[in-house]
Structure 1
Amino acid sequence: MKLDTSIACSLTPGAEIDCCGGTHIGYLKAMKRSPWFYDRWTIATERRLYSRAKLIVAHADIMKQELRDFYGINPDKITTLYPPLTINTQDTDQTRSELRRHFHLPDDKTLFLFPSSSHKRKGFPLLKDYFEKGNGEELLIVAGRPPKGECKNTLYVGYCNEMPLLYKACDYTILASSYEPFGMVGPESVANGTPVIFGENIGCCEIIDRKARVTFNVSDAESLTSAISLLKASPLTLTPPYTQYLAKKSLASVREHVEESLRRVQLVP
């Protein structure tokens, strides 16, 4: 069977269009890891895939830059198309106070939600250090994998199947990821009315309005402190419809995303 066009979303050399949601070299550099056998195999496979593809669809401009810097890809064959967002939202008549009681959270604290199943990559050590130095007025709410050991000013709520409501119960969502090519948590949080405080290297910051986000340098603890101090002085509050804080070009459906990829591949010389 002959196909008109093939699209790869994984390590499948030979596709005409490759969707890049992250690079292995970028990941290793961000995590400060030296390559082992599997890493070298993965990087070699990526190079073959990228060299053979007619068009590479980067899921954020930061991925486009990695492809140029780390793999030497001709920028003419790279285009940025943000991944189609399937955002889980949930309308509720419950107030934030009622939602906090539902999740057994205090109503008199500023709550920073940290959804994570990969704490080291998501920046938990940096966040833990900040919140442990606090006076208890600000709490880190961990959803997902439990943190190890005792953590002052941190509450663990477990794996949550009501994430839209948990977003709404908290003041902010926070991530300090060392490597986060896009980060669906960002648009999910904003779409549920909760602004974000994110590392400036996180890809989804490109599609979130500045009125709904504050960013910081994940390599600088003082930068995190300054960002949270900024929020204390000028808290962020979002008003519906919350999709107004997300770039329209990020709200395409899967079908529209594929159709645009097919249109752009025809423009590549």
Structure 2
Amino acid sequence: MRNAHRHCDVLIGCNRIVGADIAVCGGTHRGFLRTAGRNPTARDRAQISLETRHYEAARYVVAHSKLMAGELQSLYGLPESRIALLYPPVDPERFSPVDDATRAALRQQFGFGDELVFLFPSSDHERKGLRPLAEALAGSGINGVIAVAGRAVHGSLPAVRELGYCKNMADLYRAADFTVLASSYEPFGLVAIESVLCGTPALLADNIACLEVLDDQASRRFSRTEPASIRATLAAAAGWAASGAARVAQPCRHIAYDPGLAAHLDGLRRLF
């Protein structure tokens, strides 16, 4: 790290390194273990040790949500004065709405018909809550499908269609009716912001941190531990879509921060 400092004015650590001026916190290992309800292994303790040194050595720690700011204080003992709340950036030019004709063509391209498409972007299906979502949809009577973008689904789940990894997630967000997550631990949930920027609302478990910045036109929430709550939210979403009012025409009006990279860089500059 001393050598790295020779070539820059400010060193930003996005991974667990010791010596960065700014440490970025997009999730904490102690927070993850607490949510999972499991005791730390030797490997976990090593990660926590490195993570703690990463935070302690930095002049500032950037928290990607109020949830993360709270964990940094309660689980790592960092003072509030060293924590900067900066929500993560997205490229609004890449992630943006399209007109109805373009969206219809995208739905045809992805093989979507008249069914409601609940997009599930994930590389960790258990943590992101695929099973409770699939079971809730299958028992709801809704003509819909959970479209899984990402890692293969192992085992049989009802109402699930696998899309594999998608290189152009923006078009997939545009084609879907909703993006849905029921994560057990979600320090922010950037996919929801990407989805909303593409005009597609997000249905999210009420513990997902990005709900801090989304209003009711951009998102609806449910309890991931209550199947009835999930079913009710899916049913309400079906009615919302049928009314024609579920698209987000002006996304940035419904996101409580500027998601652009320039605004994020300005926030980082203000720390120094």
**What's the TM-score bracket when you normalise by the shorter of the two chains?**
0.7 to 0.9
Partner of 1:24: 29
The alpha carbon displacement at 1:69 in A equals 1.6
Match among 139, 159, 164 for residue 170 of structure 2: 164
Whichever residue aligns with residue 105 of structure 2, its letter is E
**In 1, distance between residues paired with 2:102 and 2:21?**
50
Q: 1:63 aligns with which of 68, 71, 89?
A: 68
1:242 is matched with which residue? 251
- 1:183 match: 189
8 Å CA contact 2:87–2:257 kept in 1: the answer is: no
1:45-64 counterparts in 2 under 5 A? Answer: 45-64=50-69
Deviates more, 1:193-202 or 1:151-160: 151-160
The separation in 2 between residues aligned to 1:28 and 1:210, in whole angstroms, is 30
Match for 2:113 among 106, 109, 112? 106
Contact 1:182 1:202 in 2 (8 A): yes
1:10 maps to which residue? Answer: 15
Q: Encode CA deviations 1:222-255: one digit per residue, 9 max, x unaligned.
A: 32223223324444523433332223433342xx
Q: Which runs of 5+ in 2 are unaligned?
A: 1-5
RMSD, aligned CA: 2.3
> Structure 1 CA distance, aligned partners of 2:45 and 2:131?
28
Q: What code does the residue aligned with 2:161 have?
A: L
Q: What are structure 1's unaligned runs of at least 5 residues?
A: none
Cα deviation code 1:56-93 (max 9, x no counterpart)? 11011110011112112212211201122135336466
**Which residue is equivalent to 1:217?**
223
1:72/1:220 Cα in 2 relative to 1: closer, same or farther (>3 Å)? farther
Structure 1 residue 96: Cα displacement: 4.2
Contact residue 136 and residue 153 of structure 1 kept, 8 A: no
Contact 2:95 2:194 (8 Å CA) reproduced: yes
- Give distance in 1, aligned partners of 2:158 and 2:192: 25
> Does the aligned pair in 2 maintain the 1:132–1:151 contact within 8 Å?
no
Aligned length in residues: 262
Which residue, out of 255, 261, 267, partners 2:268? 261
SS in 2 for 1:94: helix
Cα distance change on mapping 1:99 and 1:257 into 2, 3 Å: closer
Identity in percent:
36
TM-score in terms of structure 2 length: 0.86
CA distance in 2 between partners of 1:167 and 1:2 (Å):
39
Q: Is the 8 A contact 1:171 1:195 kept in 2?
A: yes
Contact 2:142 2:235 in 1 (8 A): no
SS across alignment from 1:35: coil
One of 137, 141, 159 as aligned partner of 2:143: 137
